[in-house]
Amino acid sequence: DQQVKQNSPSLSVQEGRISILNCDYTNSMFDYFLWYKKYPAEGPTFLISISSIKDKNEDGRFTVFLNKSAKHLSLHIVPSQPGDSAVYFCAATRRTNFGNEKLTFGTGTRLTIIP
Amino acid sequence: DADVTQTPRNRITKTGKRIMLECSQTKGHDRMYWYRQDPGLGLRLIYYSFDVKDINKGEISDGYSVSRQAQAKFSLSLESAIPNQTALYFCATSRRGRKLFFGSGTQLSVL
CB contact under 8 A, A107 and B45: no
Mean pLDDT of B80-103: 92
Query: Among residues 17-56 of chain B, which lie with CB inside 8 Å of chain A?
Result: 31, 33, 35, 40-45, 48
Q: What's the Cα-to-Cα distance from B90 to each of A13, B11, B74, rounded to whole Å? A: 29, 14, 11
What digits encode the pLDDT tens for the residues B14-63? Answer: 999 999 999 999 999 999 999 999 988 889 999 999 989 999 999 899 99
Query: Among residues 69-108 of chain A, which lie with CB inside 8 Å of chain B?
Result: 89, 93, 98-108
Chain A residues near residue B58 by CB distance under 8 angstroms? 102
Q: Are A8 and A108 in contact (CB under 8 A)?
A: no
Q: What's the Cα-to-Cα distance from A20 to each of A65, B23, B65, B84, rounded to whole Å? A: 10, 34, 39, 33
Mean confidence (pLDDT) of chain A: 93
| CA gap A63, A68 in Å, rounded | 16
Q: What's the Cα-to-Cα distance from B82 to each of A18, B13, B60, B79, rounded to whole Å? A: 43, 9, 14, 10
Q: Are B101 and B4 in contact (CB under 8 A)?
A: yes
Exposure class string for B29-47: b at 16+ Cβ within 10 A, else e: bbbbbbbbbeeeebbbbbb
| CA gap A69, A78 in Å, rounded | 25
Q: Are B75 and B94 in contact (CB under 8 A)?
A: no
Mutate to test the interface with A, among B35, B100, B104, B107 (most CBs of A within 10 A): B100
Q: How confident is the model at residue A33, as a pLDDT?
A: 95
Residue type, A76: H
Respond yes or no on whether the N-terminal peptide bond of residue B8 is cis (omega within 30° of 0): yes
Q: Of A96-105, B29-38, B87-96, where does mean pLDDT reach its minimum?
A: A96-105
Q: Are B107 and B6 in contact (CB under 8 A)?
A: no
Going by pLDDT thresholds of 50, 70 and 90, the confidence category of residue A95 is confident
Mean pLDDT of B57-84: 95
How many residues in chain B?
A: 111
| CA gap B78, B66 in Å, rounded | 9
